[in-house]
């Protein structure tokens, strides 16, 4: 089997990027994202404590570092680091590999060549050849694996890497300093993808091949929205994405809405305690009417988006080694 993608968290985020692309293209003509003076960071307060929730892009270029002082100050106050998935834990890679072995391959006797039409196979072969790979390396894998492999290769080629993502950045810094809590596990994240019906996996693969040439533009616009702290622009992207193909409606709900409610319940429980959590979750989970911030407000917690303070005076605390 081919090497597993770097993390199931990055995979889920990569799938989200495919849908976000169309929203970016539609809203970009009039300068869709603008500088807000805020970070994509929220302070949430309860009667007993406060939490900081940072909307993350799991695939980042190195140039985003060092981070704004406001993010660094929030992290400095933290007594607990909370992430979607602890991608740096010793057993996480093994769990991802085990889940991929179990769920990523076709049953014996079936391959991409037997299950896909010849036109799609030819397009797939061309895309893989452009990435320096051949279909023979991956033909036993199911379509969802090919979709995410192609997008991961392209995002890495453009300098967006999972090892430079915000979650990995803070996990490395917190490993010997703070307790680390994961909101999800690798097996659950892989199942969100592998559980798709085959025809929907093929639909995903077609979308990937169609949108792959526009990935650079998409990533640039998405990163701008994050750096501008423009939660409204990001929320608009998610709404547009979620309303695309009706065949993916249930998948979109499981990918975002259901997980938002589950993670919100976990965070609300932490806000009933007295420790200060620093929470890093994908930006798509933070914004919008059913994002984590809106759901926490429905639980009665007070929230505010944190203003930027500018780059750190000393880059030592926020720079990547």
Q: What gap in Å lies between CA 209 and CA 201, rounded to an integer? A: 13
Q: Give me the pLDDT at residue 54, please.
A: 98
User: In angstroms, how far is the first alpha carbon of the chain from the final one?
Assistant: 33
* Domain residue limits, the chain: 8-105+141-307
Residue 88: is its pLDDT beyond 90? no
More confident residue, 91 or 201: 201
- Rounded CA-CA distance 48/79 in Å is 14
Identify the helix (H) or strand (E) that includes residue 140: none
What are the φ and ψ backbone dihedral angles of 87, each rounded to 5 degrees? -70, -15
Decide if pLDDT at 24 tops 50.
no
Helices (H), the chain: 8-27, 69-77, 92-103, 112-115, 118-130, 143-157, 166-174, 186-194, 198-211, 215-228, 231-242, 249-252, 258-271, 283-286, 292-298
Place of tokens 């100050």: 73
Instruction: Look at residue 34 in the predicted model and tell me its pLDDT.
Output: 57
Q: Which residues pair with 41 in a beta bridge?
A: 54
Structure tokens at 29: 């003509």
Dihedral of the CA atoms 100, 101, 107, 111 (nearest 10)? Answer: 70
Q: What is the pLDDT of residue 252?
A: 81
Tens digit of each residue's pLDDT (9 = 90 or more) over 212-265: 888 888 788 888 889 999 999 888 877 765 546 788 788 888 888 999 999 999
The pLDDT of residue 240 is: 66
Q: What is the pLDDT of residues 132-178, one digit of tens each?
A: 999 999 999 999 999 989 988 999 999 998 889 999 999 999 998 99
Tokens of 131: 């990435």
What confidence category does residue 87 fall into, taking pLDDT thresholds of 50, 70 and 90? confident
Residues 6+ apart with CB under 8 A from 11: 5, 148, 152, 189, 190, 193
Q: Is the pLDDT of residue 96 over 70?
A: yes
* Helices 8-27 + 231-242 axis angle, to 10: 100
For position 4, what pLDDT does the model report? 39
What's the confidence (pLDDT) of residue 320?
61
Percent of the chain clearing pLDDT 70 (strictly above): 85
The residue with greater pLDDT, 14 or 254, is 254
- Sequence-distant (≥ 6) Cβ neighbours of residue 144 within 8 angstroms: 104, 193, 194, 196, 201, 204, 205
Please name the residue that has the structure tokens 């704004």: 68
Mean pLDDT, the chain, rounded, equals 85
Q: Phi and psi dihedrals of 51, rounded to 5?
A: -130, 150
């Amino acid at each position: 089997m081919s090497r597993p993608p770097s993390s199931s968290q990055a995979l889920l985020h990569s799938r989200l990027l495919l849908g976000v692309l169309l929203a970016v293209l539609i809203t970009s003509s009039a300068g869709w994202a603008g500088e807000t003076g805020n970070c994509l960071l929220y302070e949430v307060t309860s009667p007993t404590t406060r939490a900081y929730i940072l909307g993350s892009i799991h695939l980042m270029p190195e140039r985003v570092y060092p981070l704004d002082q406001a993010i660094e100050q929030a992290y400095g106050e933290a007594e607990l680091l909370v992430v979607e998935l602890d991608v740096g834990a010793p057993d996480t890679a093994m769990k991802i590999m085990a889940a991929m072995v179990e769920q990523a391959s076709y049953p014996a006797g079936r391959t991409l060549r037997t299950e896909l039409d010849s036109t799609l196979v030819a397009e797939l072969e061309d895309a893989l050849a452009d990435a320096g790979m051949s279909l023979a390396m991956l033909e036993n894998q199911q379509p969802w694996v090919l979709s995410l492999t192609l997008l991961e290769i392209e995002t890495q080629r453009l300098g967006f890497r999972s090892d430079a993502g915000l979650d990995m950045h803070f996990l490395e810094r917190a490993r010997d300093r703070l307790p680390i809590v994961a909101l999800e596990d690798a097996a659950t994240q892989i199942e969100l993808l592998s559980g798709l019906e085959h025809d929907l996996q093929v639909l995903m693969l077609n979308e990937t091949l169609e949108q792959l040439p526009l990935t650079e533009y998409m990533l640039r616009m998405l990163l701008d929205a994050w750096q501008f702290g423009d939660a409204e622009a990001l929320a608009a992207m998610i709404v547009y994405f979620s309303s695309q193909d009706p065949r993916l409606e249930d998948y979109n709900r499981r990918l975002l809405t259901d997980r938002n409610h589950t993670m919100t319940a976990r965070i609300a429980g932490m806000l009933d305690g007295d420790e200060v959590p620093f929470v890093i979750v994908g930006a798509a989970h933070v914004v919008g009417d059913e994002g984590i911030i809106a759901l926490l407000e429905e639980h009665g917690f007070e929230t505010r988006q944190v203003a930027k303070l500018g780059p750190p005076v000393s880059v030592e605390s926020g720079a990547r080694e």
